[in-house]
Each structure stands twice: as C-alpha cells, then as structure tokens.
Structure 1
Amino acid sequence: MKKIILSFIAALLLVPTSVKADEGMWFLMFIERLNHRDMQKMGLQLTAEEIYSINNHSLKDAIVQFNGGCTAEIISKDGLVLTNHHCGYDAIAELSSEEQNYLKNGFWAKNRKDEMKPSSLYVRFFVRMDDVSKRILSKVNDSMTEAEREKAINQEIAAIEKENNEGGKYTVSVRSFFQGNEYYYFVYQDYKDVRLVGTPPESLGKFGGDTDNWEWPRHTADFSMFRVYADKNGNPADYSPENVPLQPKHYLPVNIGGVKENDYAMILGYPGRTNRWMPAGGIEQNVKFAYPAWVEGAKVGMDNMKKYMNQSDALNLKYASKFASTANYWKNRQGMIDALTKFGTAKSKAAQEAKFNKWANKPANKAKYGNVIADINNYYALTNEKSRHDNYMQQLFRTTSFGTVSRGLGRYMDAYVKGDANKRAQMAPAIEEMAEEMFKELHIPAEKDLMAAQLNTYATKATGYAIAPMVKKIGDENNNDFTKYVNAAFDLSIFTSVDRIKAFLALPSKELLENDPLYALSNDMLTHYSSKSDEIAAAQDKYSAAFRKLVEGLRESKIGTIKYPDANSTLRLTYGKVRALPADKRNDAKINNYTTLDGQVKKYKKGDAEFDLPVKVLEMNKNKEYGRYADKDGSLHVNFLTDNDITGGNSGSPVLNGKGELIGLAFDGNIEAMAGDVIFDKNLQRTINVDIRYVLWVIENFSGAKNIVDEMTLTK
C-alpha cells in the first residue's frame, strides 16, 4: 500500500496546477451572492432561484435527509426515493428473514402493494432557513459564564422554534455556525410512511466489502430505493393502507448520457460533521489518543461479531448492520490517522495559530483574544488521556447491547418500578415491545463474548485515566479476565431474555433492579463516562469561549481562509467537476475517472464474502448485454469520480449536471483524502459515485424491474 501511495503522489506532480477542486459546503440561501457566478463559469445552467426558492419549487424540494443520517433524492412524480444501499441497510435487514433474505438476495416490488414498510423510517424535506444571529447574540454578553450564555441562547432558540413550527406542522431546528458566532433556523417537514421499493443483492450493493471501502477503483452498486407515502391531501401521515404516493413539489430528471472528464458536477446533501476549524491540539489529540483507541476498540467488536456471523445466515442478519457501521468507521478512523499524520496537519494548524497568537496579543486585540491559544492548549493537555479512555469505552457501548442497558431498557424499568399501578399498566406493553425488538438483534453467546472482550480491552488499555470503579474492581479480582464475571452476570440478570423481563414486570422489585449485575455495571460505566474533574470542567468552560473567539478572530484577522461553516447535518451544496486520479494499473478504464463492469468481473472471487457476484452478472457481461445504458465506448460504467467536497451524511446525495439532472449517486471518498474532515486537499479530494446508468442497468436489465425505471423521466 505504501508503494502505491508514493507512486500516486509522484503522479500528482504531473497533474496541471490549473485544475483544482472547489472547496466548500455552502448554504443554499447564499448561492446567489457567494457562488453562482463561479458555478456558471464551470458549467451550471440553472439560476440560483431554481436551486433554492421559498415561494417556487426548486432543486432543494427534491433532496431529503434520509432517516436522520444520510441523504436521498426524489426521482419520480410518485415519490420514488433513491439513496445508498448502506443507508437503507437497517431497513432492508429488518424486513429480511432466513426465508426471505432481501439483504442477501435483493428485492424489487412488482407493484405498489408489494412495497414494504419497515418499523421506523422517515425522510425530512427542507422548507426554508433564515439568519437569526443578531436576535440570539443580542441575548448574551461577555460578562456571562458559558453556562449562563448557553441558558440564554437555549431560551431564545426555544422561542424561535415555537414561532416557526405552525402548531407542530413543521420541525424547526436552530443551529449554531462558526463555533457559535452565527445562528440560523431551519424549517423541515417529516414524512414517516416510507416503504422499501427495491434493493440489489448484497453481492452488488456491498461489492468489495471492507477491503474496497474508502478505496479507488470501486465497483459497487451502492443504492437502494424507497417510496414516500402521504395522506390523500399530500400531508405527512402514520402508516396506513389508505395512504398514497407523495406527489412532490420537484423531482429530479435522470440523465443517461454519461459523464466525461471536466463535466460540471454538483452535489446537494446533508453532510454530517466536519472540523475544518479544529485547533492543532484537537488534531493531535485525535491522531495520538482518540482515534487509535477507536480503531482498536472497533476491531475487538468486529472480531467478536464476525465469529458468530459466520455461523449462520440468521446470526449474520442479526449483526450485519452493527458490523457494517462499526467497520465503516474503523477504516475511516485509521485512514484519518494516516492522512493527518502524513500531511502534518497539526503542524500546519499550529503555525496558523502561532500567527494568530501574535495578532491576538497586539494591544488592540489582547483583552479579547490574548488568552485564546493558551486556554485551548491547556484544555487538550488535560483531556488527552481522557479522550483515549472515552473512545475505548465508546466502542464498548457501540458494539455491545448491554453496555448501555441502564440508560435504555433499564431507564424504563426504573420508571416502572417507581410508578403506581396505573402507570405500570400503561408502561408494561411498551416495555415488552421494546424488549422483543431488542432481542431480535442480539444473540446471548455473542453478547457475552463481546462484553468480556471489550471490558478487557478497556481495562487494560485506558490506563492513562482512571477507569470505571466497578470495572477496576472486577478486573483486579480476576486479573482482567472478565469472562467468568460476564457469564455469571448474564445468568443472573433480568435483562437477558424477554421472559425474564416479563417476569420482572409481573413482580417488580426496586432492590432486584438496582442489584442486577448488568444494570449496575452499565450504570457504573455510564456515570463514570459522563463525569469530569473540577479542573477539566473549568478548562472546558474556558475552552468553549476560546474556540468561539479563535474562529471569530481568524475571520476578523483574515488569517483564516475558510469562508463556509463546518458541516452539521444541515443542507449544503458543493460543486466541482468529474475529475480523474492519475493512471492506476488496478483500473482497466481508459481514463482513471470511472470503472467498468469488466473491471468488477475481474475482481470476482467465487464464494468470497466480499467479491462474489451473481452468475447472471457474469453472463450478461460476457455477452455485453448493457442495453441503452452502455457508454459510447461500448462498456458499462459502474462508478465515477468527482472532486466535490463531501463527508459522512452525504451518503446517498445526488450528483447533478449543470441542468440539475441526476447523473450519479455519491457514496464514498478516497482513503488518501481521509484528512478531508479537517483540512481540504484540492489535489487528493475525490467523491466516489455510482453511475446512474449502472443503477438503472441493475434495476431494469439485471433485475427485470423495468416498471420502476418507467416511473422516471429519462433524458440524454
């Protein structure tokens, strides 16, 4: 891998310097003022009003946040939704069974009646946004403590949200930007009746698995399809057979003409989080303390899940979603460590901060900014070991079902114990349902191994900061072998079967609950995790103020060059071009900005969990059965590259041409640019996209679901 990266960097020197990626995750309401002219020069043919309009339909009306963590787009007049396969993964797994394994075999609804409703899935439409910075910041002053400041801001936020929700019709969210220096409110409308329309088999939707994740060249059909339903008047409604497909304000036409180098490419979506303003100390903390613990803890969880997933399809289904999520971030965080270290990002940030500190300590600036860098650096010095500790504990919580049981099911059982007869009667059915849902996604032998292994890792590796008292006591008594304790705890706990939980509800006991070994252990760990010393609390208070002032000062002094706020799961636009990476012998394409079905077949390994392919794909490729989706060069293009600025949360985002037509679906980035959440690299940054022609080929030609393609508006 090291040799590949070195040759990759050397080849970059041959790329013309006039070609650059366009950094930025931009607010739609500012496109006209900040970006529109530049976008037009690059190939945009739409007006700013056609992208974002409050009074008329526009592109923003076709973009939805998918289930809170991804992006999706409406691609038909009947509410058809396209997103990534990995975004629909939970819903597909939930609807699957051993007998009808849609995750493994794929699924395509032949008609509307065949479309399936998962238990919990929603899409969020963006209605409008506005700037409320002056209003909110008028409620605070420099004499306030951070706690007082936060209280005043939260009170004003609550008022703004209430004023704009129209009696509960809309969801309103006020978010801070530029580290609390600006505030905007966002109005959304949520639709909760969302049904599965289709998904390719996992061998296509996850082709390449963890090996190819974050890598280029890619050959993945990372897409799935859903439909939004509404009541007969087009309003959000709970699931009902009487609901009808939503008639959206706008949907995206689909362009099957293909893409080529330097074509304009625009992405709208909900990027989750970037940290482009992060101080040097924070980058150093992540690279040396937080992320290594995350990576190691995640690997422990993955290894113990995989041991059971390999035993049967049923167990694989139980843990597929949790494993995929853990594996995704495991590789991401290792890539971040490598990229941030390699590019010396902390060092370059420190140089910027030294320049800022010199400006901050000039007489005119000293009173406000003089202590900013010192307060920031002091906070990180105090919390480096805690961040390592917290990340080991977080992976225990993320990969085991019982690490947080006291705050999940246990919290409701505690309220049940304390309630009177009427309250208990009301709560019992909900608790039973919660327990039944919980046990659908776990296997007790696996949970025992996960818990014991993660406790050992936490107790032996988080040594620079005091570990949870109960974990330390158990570890000291058992030489940090937690197997015996965990087995005994599971044997005694009321939380380890639905029947035990129902028995407790029949004869509730406060003492029994509080002394339950898994409940007590979970409480101990969660309490310890959220606690902090007075020294750290004081340093954190100063840090919050200092970070806000750092961003304000960097913008004021012009030392900072970033013109847009960090991503925070609000709708953003990024624009760039289709752009190749230097030639790569692993890719059979004529130019290294796309991959082909031939290339996918070359990766094929019969029976391999990551690189197996349906026999039909092999046969269709051999016979060149590409239909109307073949490129002009005669091949079927699978994935392609653009230089857009995206991050997690953009998964499923539409890639649009200059006319606002759908040309692809964003699903990943390249590992060489994993530092992108912290610092944008115009040479390395790439977005990996599914070519929309490959999406349609899988639906129509491979799967025979032409009825779904016929819903769409296809153009060339």
Structure 2
Amino acid sequence: MKKFIFALIAGILLLPNSVKADEGMWFLMFIERLNHRDMEKMGLQLTSEEIYSINHSSLKDAIVQFNGGCTAEIVSKEGLVLTNHHCGYSAIAELSTAEQNYLKDGFWAKDKRAEMKPKSLYVRFFVRMDDVSKRILLKVNDKMSETDRNKVIQQEIALIEKENSEGGKYTVSVRPFFQGNEYYYFVYQDYKDVRLVGTPPESIGKFGGDTDNWEWPRHTGDFSMFRVYADKNGNPAEYSKDNLPLKPKHYLPISLKGVEENDFAMILGYPGRTNRWMPANGINQNVNFAYPAWVEGAKMGMDRMKVYMDKDETVSLQYASKYASTANYWKNRQGMIDALTKSGTVETKTIEESKFNDWANKSENKAKYGQVVATINDYYAKTNLKARHDNYLSQLMRTATYGSAPANLGNSLLYYFNENEAKRAEVLPKINALIESVYGKFYAPLEKDVLIAQLNLYTSKGAEFGLSPMISKLKEDNKGDFATVVNEAVFKSIFASKETVLAFLNNPKPEAISADPLYVLSNDLLTKVRAKSEDQQQMDDNFEKAYRNLVEGLRESKINSIQYPDANSTLRLSYGKVNALPKDPRNDAKVNNYTTMTGLVKKYKAGDEEFDLPARLLELNKAKDFGKYADKNGYMPINFLSDNDITGGNSGSPVLNGKGELIGIAFDGNIEAMAGDVIFDKKLQRTISVDIRYVLWLIDKYAGAKHIVDEMTIAGENLK
C-alpha cells in the first residue's frame, strides 16, 4: 500500500511535465538541453544537430519565413516552396485578371519558364541566433526611466545588428523575450526572386470559406507552390531571367505513409504572437473592451466591401486579400472572446497573480516586486475605454483606405516639396511607389462607403473615451451621419484617386495639401491614433516596468513554470502527437483525427461560394482514382489533427514525422481553443493540417502536373 502511495505521489509530482509535453514554442538552439530527450520518447529519430546546426545543413535550412507573415518549406533540390493557399493569396490575386483569374481557376506552370513573378514577394532563411542578454542588460539599471532605458537598449541593438550583418549580406534582428528580461539576435538571408509555380482553384484552396474557418472537421486543400531563384552563385538577387533555381542547403523529403493516432508530429515555423504572460486584467480588457470593438469594426468593413466585390469580378480580385485577412481576424477575435470566457482564463490568472502578490510582498521581495500587481491593475482600469476606442479606430484605418492614405501620402508630399531639387529626385521613386501601393488595388465607390460606415460606427461606439474636437463637431453638425462629409471631401480632394494625385503632381500647388478636406480628415484621425498625453506616457512607462518585473518575478518564484518565451515571429519548434477530438457525427472518419474525400463531397453545394467543387475533382472521386496517394485503408485523406502548439504566422509550417519527413502543412486551429494565444489547453488545442497525400494527389491527378511531384523526394521511393 505504501509503495502504491509513493508511486502515486511521484506520478503527481511528475504530472506538470507530462501535461505540458505538447505545450511550447521552443528556440532551436536550446532543443538539446530542454526538449530532445522528451522528443525522442515521443518518436523523434533525429539528433538535435540534424534539427539545428550552424556549421552543417539541418532542418532549419529548409524552413523559410514567407513574405513576412507566414511560414513555408523547401521541398526540392531546385528551390520548390510549399506554403498555404491563403499565404500565397495576395500574390496569386496580383497575378490574376478578370480574364485569367488564377484564384478562381487555379494555375500550374508547365515548366520553369512559365512560372510567374509577383511584384513583391520574398522568403527569409534563418542562418543563426545567439544570446546577447548580458551584453544589453549590463548597459541599463533600475534607476533609469523607461524612456532612457529603451534608448540605451536601442543603441546597443543597432551595434549588434551592424556587427553581424557582414556589410549588409545578412538581415539581423535583435528581439526582446520574457518581456525584456532576455535578448537574442537572429541572422537571416532574404531572397526576393520568388515565383508562382502552382495553386489549386480557391474552391479547393479555400473550401469552406468563412463558415469552416477555425472549425473542425475541415476539408480544405490550403496550399500553394512557389520557387526561389538566385544568381549563378546561389546568392540573393533581384528578379532576372538569368537567375537560376536556388540549390538549398536542405530540403524536406515527403512521406506517403500517412498518420495514425499518437504518431509523433513536429512543426517548425514563425509563430506571430502569443501572450501567455498577459496579466488577468489585460485579458479582461481584451474580452470586454478591445476584442468586441475589433469584431464589430472588422465586420462593418467586410460587409461594405462585400457589396461591391459581389457586383464586379475585377473589384473582387482587388480586394480579395484584404477581405480575407479582415475576415480571418474577425472570426479569430470572436473565437478568442468566447474561448477565454468559457475557459475562465481571467479567474485562473487572477489566482496566479494573487499567489505572486503574496510572494512579492515578503520582506526580501517587496522593494522590487511589492507594487507590481497594483500598478498593472491600475493601468488596465484606466485604459479600458481607450482600448475600446482604439480598436474601433484601428479597424477604420485598416479597412478604409481613405482613412489613413490621404494623411500618409499628403505628409510625404509635403516633405517632398520642402526639399531641394536633388533630394526630390532621390525621393520621387518612393513617392511613386507609395501612390501605387495606395491606388494599385482601389475602387473609389467602395472606399467612400467603407469610410462613411466606419466613421458612423467609430464616432458612435468610441465616443465615451473621447473623440478629437474636429470629429466631435462633424458628428454633431451631421447628426452622426458622415455620408455628406465624406462625399464632399472626396469630390474636392487631391487624394480621391490615382488620377487626381498624378494630375496634382503635374501641376503642383503644395499649399493646397494642408487645406485638402480628405487630408484634413485623415490627418485628424491619424493624429488621434498617435496621441499620447504626458500622463498616459508616464502610465505606460510604469506599466512596462511592472510587466517586466511581473514576468521576472513569476519565473524567479516558480509560480509560473513556463520555460519558453512568447511568440514574436522568430523561428520556433513545437512538438506533439496526432491527437483526435471526441467523436463527431459530422465526420465520416473512423477516428476523429482526420477527414476524407467522402466528407468533402458530402459538403459539396453546386454554385455555392464556399462549398462548390470543381467538376474534375468530383469525377476523380467517383472513379476512386486516388493512385498511390490513397490511405492503406482505401480512403483519400484530406486534413488531420495534431496537438502541436502553434499560432498565427505558423500558417504554411511543415508538419514532420520523427524522421524529419513532411506529412502535412499546418493551416489552422480549432475555434474551441482560441484562448490558446493566452493559455494552452491540452484537452482542446489542435493544429489542423493538410495531409501531404492530398496535396500531391491534387498536383498529380487533379492538375496533371506530375512533373512537379517528380521533382520532390518521396521517402522510400525515389531517394536522391
């Protein structure tokens, strides 16, 4: 009996480590020390050196950050890149026209000469990282104000970045971790000649649309393909017909064995942002003030855009990426509200902070930590209304081009006209690029409608915090309806369209900019976004210091056992297993950790915007023409679940088996676990991935692009 009790106690003591086995977004340089043994027990067959090496090729050399916001992986010795369809969406839309709509119809390059170059697209390779915490933190002390502290830190960061760039060969970024208690630098190499190789039609790549977004079961072929090009020496180069496909240091082999429950799954990628250290009242502020405003503002912008997109295919292409991005975060933030509320995250964090406050007010800790919780709680109490206001205003600026562009462009032009002739010649290309970025995908009737709707919403719902005097007067004079204000401003404005801006540049009257009605309106909104009183600045400084000390104190006291820093778009590794959710009657699969083409076809609705399917896919399914890509049990796999810890930015990340072979592409999470950015829930949190067998089946059987599949290495089949 005693042996049983001791064993039970030992099991309980070990429980936190086993419970958190799948939690964490880990630095690659610490894998050997922190994770490797645990990963081996779960099924990893690689050494830590095969995952991350500075001197030799390793897995990290096949993982790239895709265009600054997603992840992608190299899958051939000729620089072939796989990522999500939604990550390549804007590039595909840019290359499309109403006559040749690659978003709608798909595209597959018959050879390398047919691959297409978008205007702006790059991939970033990770070279190495190192710890510079001591170097930076020795430059500061607790007597400094936050402003002085940050100034000293930024100066040291600039030196470190310059020292490691090798004269501009590399991009170097020093980033803070654990709320400024640690610092690491990251060395990258950017390749800008990246070309579209192939994409399925959006009826496959975006199957399920907004209805299925963040949901399980899923049946989405969310992938697209690109290729990285370099100069003849393999170095980054601007686009040239003489460039050659990149010969990567490492590329991922493909596994067609499929997945089963409890199979090891590893993901490398660039998660964007988590807030696992966020205080209780910060979560409360998001749930009750910030996110509801975000959701309502985003929905308003989407609804107004959709009216015009449905009427005109050209407009639909112009706004496809902006609408998709807005819709993604709209549903995400609503899911966050629901999940954080349901999980009681505020209550959990409050208990943790109460324990910390008891520890902080012990005599030996009080000087440094005693006021931390009180300072943080006071900050959030005083900024709740500001958070609501700022989110309504930020959604206005994000969805309404007329909200921010006239001020940004007008201020750039004022700078331009105040310079001498030589400086103007230097600045003019940047002015032209800014004009193109504003008006390249622009439809004035839509933009007017969005601005009117957003101003009406913002001035109604954000007013409790306080509007600017100008906006307040316009609201009062027009009884809360900005239709007349906006229509008149656009009619009279230099910034109404690309044509009116270019006409102004041909016959400039610089003094007219400051009086331009659209510029005045936009500049007032932008000034409000950036406004910060002395009291607010002091409160921000106090909060920043208290938050940093909270994280330091939680780690020192061991009250919070998290060993990994929050995500911040730096390369991380997460590991876990294929892990089913409870049986769901909507899923025909025997185990609720995968979906099949049978389930895909059951969702099919002819002509439906979200659930239509190409005729060829339906024909191939009817003939059961799945080839070598079918599962050993006969079904055609579509998506699968694992319990990896990921977030936004991981889109497109490779899902690897224990041998480092590609088994899927991560593209989503489940809405029940939207609290995951703040608190990891092992029971609920899942990563949704495209099964690599479905990807290859679509390329080979559906698209008839077998030459692309032949370029890859299929493990056990065509090892190269």
TM-score range normalised by the length of the shorter chain: over 0.9
Q: C-alpha separation between the residues in 2 aligned to 1:620 and 1:671?
A: 32
What TM-score, normalized to structure 1?
0.96
Q: C-alpha separation between the residues in 1 aligned to 2:417 and 2:164?
A: 39
Q: C-alpha separation between the residues in 2 aligned to 1:31 and 1:258?
A: 26
- Asked if structure 1 preserves the Cα contact closer than 8 Å seen for 2:70 and 2:650, the reply is yes
Which residue matches 2:177?
A: 177
Whether 1:332 aligns to 2:337 is no
Deviation at 1:535, TM superposition (A): 2.4
Deviation at 1:655, TM superposition (A): 0.1
For structure 1, which segment, 425-434 or 324-333, has the greater mean C-alpha deviation from structure 2 after superposition? 425-434
Which residue matches 1:348?
A: 348
Q: C-alpha separation between the residues in 2 aligned to 1:464 and 1:690?
A: 45
Whether 1:129 aligns to 2:147 is no
Q: C-alpha separation between the residues in 1 aligned to 2:567 and 2:227?
A: 27
Deviation at 1:415, TM superposition (A): 1.7
Q: C-alpha separation between the residues in 2 aligned to 1:497 and 1:532?
A: 32
- Asked if structure 2 preserves the Cα contact closer than 8 Å seen for 1:277 and 1:678, the reply is yes
Q: C-alpha separation between the residues in 2 aligned to 1:147 and 1:425?
A: 36
Whether 1:561 aligns to 2:590 is no
Which residue matches 1:219?
A: 219
- Asked if structure 2 preserves the Cα contact closer than 8 Å seen for 1:266 and 1:658, the reply is yes
- Asked if structure 2 preserves the Cα contact closer than 8 Å seen for 1:273 and 1:647, the reply is yes
Deviation at 1:354, TM superposition (A): 0.6
Which residue matches 1:317?
A: 317
Letter in 2 for 1:121: L
Q: Deviations over 1:49-104 (max 9, x none)?
A: 00000000000000000000000000000000000000000100000001110011
Structure 1 residues 301 and 402: alpha-carbon distance in aligned structure 2, compared to 1, 3 A threshold: same
- Asked if structure 2 preserves the Cα contact closer than 8 Å seen for 1:469 and 1:524, the reply is no
- Asked if structure 2 preserves the Cα contact closer than 8 Å seen for 1:673 and 1:685, the reply is yes
Which residue matches 2:97?
A: 97
Letter in 2 for 1:593: N
Provide the aligned length of Structure 1 versus Structure 2.
700
Query: Secondary structure at 1:327's aligned position in 2?
Result: helix
Letter in 2 for 1:300: M
Deviation at 1:498, TM superposition (A): 2.1
Q: Deviations over 1:32-52 (max 9, x none)?
A: 000000000000000000000
1:65-464 aligned at under 5 Å gives the runs 65-428=65-428, 430-464=430-464
Deviation at 1:533, TM superposition (A): 2.8
Query: Secondary structure at 2:606's aligned position in 1?
Result: coil
Q: C-alpha separation between the residues in 1 aligned to 2:652 and 2:646?
A: 11
Which residue matches 1:54?
A: 54
Q: Deviations over 1:488-546 (max 9, x none)?
A: 11101111122211221122223210111111111111111111233222111110000
- Asked if structure 1 preserves the Cα contact closer than 8 Å seen for 2:266 and 2:574, the reply is yes
Structure 1 residues 429 and 349: alpha-carbon distance in aligned structure 2, compared to 1, 3 A threshold: closer
Q: C-alpha separation between the residues in 1 aligned to 2:183 and 2:683?
A: 32
Deviation at 1:18, TM superposition (A): 8.1
Which residue matches 1:594?
A: 594
1:603-618 aligned at under 5 Å gives the runs 603-618=603-618
- Asked if structure 2 preserves the Cα contact closer than 8 Å seen for 1:268 and 1:572, the reply is yes
Deviation at 1:487, TM superposition (A): 0.6
Deviation at 1:427, TM superposition (A): 4.0
- Asked if structure 2 preserves the Cα contact closer than 8 Å seen for 1:417 and 1:510, the reply is yes
Query: Secondary structure at 2:405's aligned position in 1?
Result: coil
1:577-656 aligned at under 5 Å gives the runs 577-656=577-656
Q: C-alpha separation between the residues in 1 aligned to 2:411 and 2:715?
A: 54
- Asked if structure 1 preserves the Cα contact closer than 8 Å seen for 2:78 and 2:245, the reply is yes
Structure 1 residues 164 and 425: alpha-carbon distance in aligned structure 2, compared to 1, 3 A threshold: closer
Deviation at 1:405, TM superposition (A): 1.4
Structure 1 residues 390 and 644: alpha-carbon distance in aligned structure 2, compared to 1, 3 A threshold: same
Letter in 2 for 1:52: Y
Which residue matches 2:3?
A: none
Deviation at 1:430, TM superposition (A): 4.5
Letter in 1 for 2:530: S
Structure 1 residues 248 and 391: alpha-carbon distance in aligned structure 2, compared to 1, 3 A threshold: same
- Asked if structure 2 preserves the Cα contact closer than 8 Å seen for 1:432 and 1:498, the reply is no
- Asked if structure 1 preserves the Cα contact closer than 8 Å seen for 2:668 and 2:687, the reply is yes
Q: C-alpha separation between the residues in 2 aligned to 1:202 and 1:152?
A: 49
Structure 1 residues 196 and 23: alpha-carbon distance in aligned structure 2, compared to 1, 3 A threshold: same
- Asked if structure 1 preserves the Cα contact closer than 8 Å seen for 2:407 and 2:519, the reply is no
- Asked if structure 2 preserves the Cα contact closer than 8 Å seen for 1:44 and 1:264, the reply is yes
Letter in 2 for 1:127: V
- Asked if structure 1 preserves the Cα contact closer than 8 Å seen for 2:85 and 2:205, the reply is yes
Letter in 2 for 1:554: L
Q: Deviations over 1:632-664 (max 9, x none)?
A: 111100000000000000000000000000000
Q: Deviations over 1:148-192 (max 9, x none)?
A: 110111111011001100000000000010000000000000000
Deviation at 1:422, TM superposition (A): 3.8
- Asked if structure 1 preserves the Cα contact closer than 8 Å seen for 2:638 and 2:690, the reply is yes
Gaps of 5+ in 2: 1-16
Query: Secondary structure at 2:93's aligned position in 1?
Result: helix
Deviation at 1:429, TM superposition (A): 5.1
Query: Secondary structure at 2:404's aligned position in 1?
Result: coil
Letter in 1 for 2:128: R
1:491-502 aligned at under 5 Å gives the runs 491-502=491-502
Q: C-alpha separation between the residues in 2 aligned to 1:185 and 1:20?
A: 27
Q: C-alpha separation between the residues in 1 aligned to 2:471 and 2:510?
A: 23
Q: C-alpha separation between the residues in 1 aligned to 2:411 and 2:221?
A: 41
Which residue matches 2:4?
A: none
- Asked if structure 1 preserves the Cα contact closer than 8 Å seen for 2:402 and 2:448, the reply is no
Q: C-alpha separation between the residues in 1 aligned to 2:20 and 2:344?
A: 21
Letter in 1 for 2:288: K
Query: Secondary structure at 2:211's aligned position in 1?
Result: helix
Q: Deviations over 1:429-483 (max 9, x none)?
A: 5534542443231111000100000000000001220113322121111001101
Letter in 2 for 1:585: P
Query: Secondary structure at 2:586's aligned position in 1?
Result: coil
Query: Secondary structure at 2:611's aligned position in 1?
Result: coil
Q: C-alpha separation between the residues in 1 aligned to 2:56 and 2:590?
A: 43
- Asked if structure 2 preserves the Cα contact closer than 8 Å seen for 1:255 and 1:714, the reply is yes
Which residue matches 1:550?
A: 550
Q: C-alpha separation between the residues in 2 aligned to 1:665 and 1:134?
A: 38
- Asked if structure 1 preserves the Cα contact closer than 8 Å seen for 2:406 and 2:495, the reply is no
Q: C-alpha separation between the residues in 1 aligned to 2:407 and 2:43?
A: 52
Letter in 1 for 2:38: D
Query: Secondary structure at 1:472's aligned position in 2?
Result: helix
Q: C-alpha separation between the residues in 2 aligned to 1:283 and 1:428?
A: 45
Letter in 2 for 1:568: N
Deviation at 1:406, TM superposition (A): 4.1
Q: C-alpha separation between the residues in 1 aligned to 2:158 and 2:427?
A: 29
Deviation at 1:222, TM superposition (A): 0.3
Query: Secondary structure at 1:214's aligned position in 2?
Result: coil
Letter in 2 for 1:562: I
Query: Secondary structure at 2:383's aligned position in 1?
Result: helix
Whether 1:676 aligns to 2:702 is no
- Asked if structure 2 preserves the Cα contact closer than 8 Å seen for 1:21 and 1:643, the reply is no
Which residue matches 1:570?
A: 570
Query: Secondary structure at 2:464's aligned position in 1?
Result: coil
- Asked if structure 2 preserves the Cα contact closer than 8 Å seen for 1:27 and 1:571, the reply is yes
- Asked if structure 2 preserves the Cα contact closer than 8 Å seen for 1:379 and 1:536, the reply is no
Which residue matches 2:508?
A: 508
Deviation at 1:407, TM superposition (A): 4.8
Q: C-alpha separation between the residues in 2 aligned to 1:540 and 1:276?
A: 20
Letter in 2 for 1:498: K
Gaps of 5+ in 1: 1-16
- Asked if structure 1 preserves the Cα contact closer than 8 Å seen for 2:414 and 2:513, the reply is yes
Letter in 1 for 2:459: A
- Asked if structure 2 preserves the Cα contact closer than 8 Å seen for 1:432 and 1:502, the reply is no
What TM-score, normalized to structure 2?
0.96
Query: Secondary structure at 2:401's aligned position in 1?
Result: coil
Letter in 1 for 2:674: M
Q: C-alpha separation between the residues in 2 aligned to 1:299 and 1:208?
A: 19
Deviation at 1:578, TM superposition (A): 0.5
